[in-house]
Structure 1
Amino acid sequence: MTTVTDTATQAPFAEPNPYAAPAAETNGFSIASLVLGIVSIVASSTFFVPVAGLVLGILALKREPASRTMAIWGIVLNAVMLAGTVLFGILAIVFGLAMLPFAFL
């Protein structure tokens, strides 16, 4: 015995699956920017750590609006440490050039 049912009268499964995991927002760029900002405080004499953190923070502002605070803190920390590194490098070059005449005494 076969039964024929009309598929147009059957309601599709419209209820969401209660056991499905919710889609998690990724905030990896902002976390990486903040971590590199904190690391750049310890490793401030390097040039690449603050630059990488600054780039990741700017990318996080555009791609991850939910984690805006972490991205801004990462940008601020990395920018301050990058400016300090550049300023220290310029001062070291100026001091080295000023002391150059006394190197041959």
Structure 2
Amino acid sequence: MTTATPTSQPQAPFGEPNPYAPGAAPTAESRGFSIASLVLGLVSIVASSTFFVPVAGLVLGVMALQREPQSRTMAIWGIVLNGVMLAGTVLVTIGALVFGLAMLPFAFL
């Protein structure tokens, strides 16, 4: 009968680290917000008149800058694309309203 207590991991001789011991699990990098912002930025080129797609992409891009520093480039491109398309949508909407109001007196002739 032995009095030695079993150990969970065998030790390598002479105090060297055990090369067969399981190491720390690699952490998966989260890039969801920045990828979503970039995809919505590309989609907003086609669907910019919806006004909601660029706003959602802009919000996701700003959140990605705060939470995902490793994917900063994708987040910045998403912010730029969504910002440009949002500004274009606002300008086209204001232009259409001004043109519509300017043509209103001629609508009843």
**TM-score tier (shorter):** 0.7 to 0.9
- The one of 74, 84, 88 aligned to 1:80: 84
* AA in 1 matched with 2:22: N
Q: Which residue of 1 aligns with 2:4?
A: 5
* Cα deviation digits, residues 67-94 of structure 1 (max 9, x gap): 0000000000000000000000000000
Runs of 4+ in 1 over 6 A off after TM superposition: none
Residues 12-23 of structure 1 aligned to structure 2 (within 5 Å): 17=22, 22-23=26-27
Q: CA RMSD in A?
A: 2.4
Paired residues, number: 101
Aligned equivalents of 1:59, 1:22: Cα separation in 2: 24
* Cα deviation digits, residues 11-39 of structure 1 (max 9, x gap): 77x75526x76221110000000000000
5+ long unaligned stretches in structure 1:
none
5+ long unaligned stretches in structure 2:
12-16
* TM-score between the two structures when normalised by the length of structure 1: 0.85
The alignment-based identity, stated in percent, is 76
Q: Which residue of 2 aligns with 1:70?
A: 74
Q: Which residue of 2 aligns with 1:37?
A: 41
